[in-house]
A and B are shown apart, each in its own frame.
Chain A
């Protein structure tokens, strides 16, 4: 009898839990939580684990070691690749945000309200084709006999085809800046849209011209959007490997290409994992420093 009572008690408790807000909450988040666990947390944990193991011919030696990190940090090639990745990603971010701001500004301030969504839609059209195809298109545009060179030669502006625009870091910057433009335009556009237009009128009313109003009101108020754009562009471009592989040439290769090589060519998954972790840590540290500096700058302005 006692056992039955315990079971009944449990069933009652379960019934109460199933009807509670907590149960409903768990039910609601479980698909996303499961997704995050399986597809984000688990692979990350695996990569982290691999970075402490050693490749032993075809097997993995699962004893904990920091050798990979020692080796990776001692090897100048890896350091140079990470530095180059950060510099290229920085250049891409700068170019993208500087070019995206005027576009976002134009759509937000000079397009009639009923047309804005159409403009945003048009800006996202490049996403309709594959990333790979867009990179190949840039090869056609920037190539030795590409659109740019033949046009400039046809116009008589240059004698020899320009060689600094393909198979080097410049090409990587141009291609990535184009690919990531919508990612920068959208957050800046949203930040500009949120600015109360009467603030701009107030600034004009208080004696500032259009230009000084931009620097005293519009720009500071759009900083959150710019910061979001910087992070959204910088973080993925550091780890990009398709673009450097296709248009970067030998000097345009980045850390992701080395990680790919470690995993697939050199059959050294632990070293690939170690480089991945190092790249992640670098990106994380740079992003945090950027956010901290931004927060401090905003506080100083206050």
Chain B
């Protein structure tokens, strides 16, 4: 890991009696695309605003580029922010918005105009400079906000749920563009989002936050495959939890059967007694007639199904288990969509399980 551009130790934030941040320790590397992910009210926006300087730290230290930010105003920090509402100045043109932060720079007037043009070009808004800010669409406002922040070449760009106001198509397009832009400029991006898919798609690393604490800090793959707690597992993607009993290294999972598990499959450690076995829908598969497998097989009945076109999600009730398991199957030629009540053979692996105590 490269040298950290942001270094937080024991950061607490109180609003009166409300404890918004409860001891955040975090290092964010230079050039990283970092996401703060969590449900609303988990403190992710507070943390971002603390880094930007809009909130002061109640306790603990925040170093930005090696310097203590205690008492440093937002206008004196090497950070720039893209606001959730975009905060485009309605009384200024697009070019004036983008060039807003250049007033204090020593650049000549021509150089400033050129920088504004380049910044607009970079976000795909070349030639929009003379437009009035209030005549822009949501996606264009977003781009203006990005250009306005990036033109100042901050050490860290802070993005506060920048895509949540856009419709699905535009959001997906902007996710790709943001990623591309971040690689191009090489600036550290910190993204706040409540959308787990968005975090997985875009980030190098993700901090999942609940109630003012970081529950897990990991890269997307680790986060998805080896969630640290049941809560993280429930928040990231879909996971079915089946009751299980642990004895030594062996786990008896209701409906599936007996399996030996590795230590890395048990984030909380393995102790004898009752536990829960988590499994992702795509790690189970239904064996259609004629299909054979070397994997383990459990028997069940289709209780419910949801057809998505490319995929079908089945809720299958396994023998000896009250709770149905969710299984996702790709729809392929020659593969039928099962009906409610149809018998289903379910193939699974011991390695697919994650055991929570």
Contacts and interface: CB of A to CB of B under 8 A. Distances in A.
Contact of B73 (A202, A209, A216, A220): A209
Interface of B: 52-54, 73-75, 79-81, 83-85, 87, 89-93, 96, 100-101, 103-104, 132, 148-149, 152
Interface of A: 196, 198-199, 201-209, 216-217, 220-221, 298, 301-302
B91 A206 contact: no
Contacts of B104: 207
Contact of A204 (B75, B84, B85, B93): B75
A217 B53 CA distance: 19
Contacts of B149: 205-206
Nearest to A208: B75
Contacts of A206: 75, 80, 100-101, 148-149, 152
B138 to A, nearest CB: 15
Nearest to B80: A205
9 tightest Cβ-Cβ pairs between the two chains A and B: A206-B101, A202-B87, A198-B87, A204-B74, A207-B75, A205-B81, A198-B83, A220-B91, A207-B101
Contacts of A208: 75, 103
Contacts of B52: 205
A209 B91 CA distance: 19
Chain A contact surface mostly: helix
A205 B92 contact: no
A217 B79 CA distance: 20
B132 A205 contact: no
B324 to A, nearest CB: 45
A196 B132 contact: no
Contacts of A196: 85, 87
B152 A201 contact: no
A198 B132 CA distance: 19
Contacts of B132: 302
A110 to B, nearest CB: 17
Nearest to B81: A205
A151 to B, nearest CB: 43
Contacts of A198: 83-85, 87
Contacts of B73: 204, 209
A141 to B, nearest CB: 41
A206 B104 CA distance: 10
Nearest to A198: B87
B54 A201 contact: yes
A202 B81 contact: yes
A71 B96 CA distance: 54
A195 to B, nearest CB: 9
Nearest to B145: A202
A208 B73 CA distance: 10
A204 B53 CA distance: 10
Nearest to B96: A302
A202 B90 contact: no
Contacts of B87: 196, 198-199, 201-202
A198 to B, nearest CB: 4
A208 B152 CA distance: 13
Contacts of A220: 91
B329 to A, nearest CB: 45
A202 B231 CA distance: 35
A301 B96 CA distance: 10
A62 B132 CA distance: 56
Given A198-B85, A208-B75, 17 more contacts: A198-B83, A198-B87, A199-B90, A201-B81, A203-B89, A203-B100, A204-B53, A204-B54, A204-B73, A205-B80, A205-B149, A206-B149, A207-B103, A221-B91, A301-B91, A302-B91, A302-B96
Nearest to A217: B89
A205 B101 CA distance: 9
Contact of B89 (A202, A207, A298): A202
Contacts of A302: 91-93, 96, 132
6 contacts: A201-B54, A201-B83, A201-B87, A204-B73, A205-B74, A207-B101
A196 B53 CA distance: 19
Contacts of A301: 91
Nearest to A206: B101
B156 to A, nearest CB: 12
A161 B79 CA distance: 60
Contacts of B81: 201-202, 205
Nearest to B74: A204
A301 B52 CA distance: 29
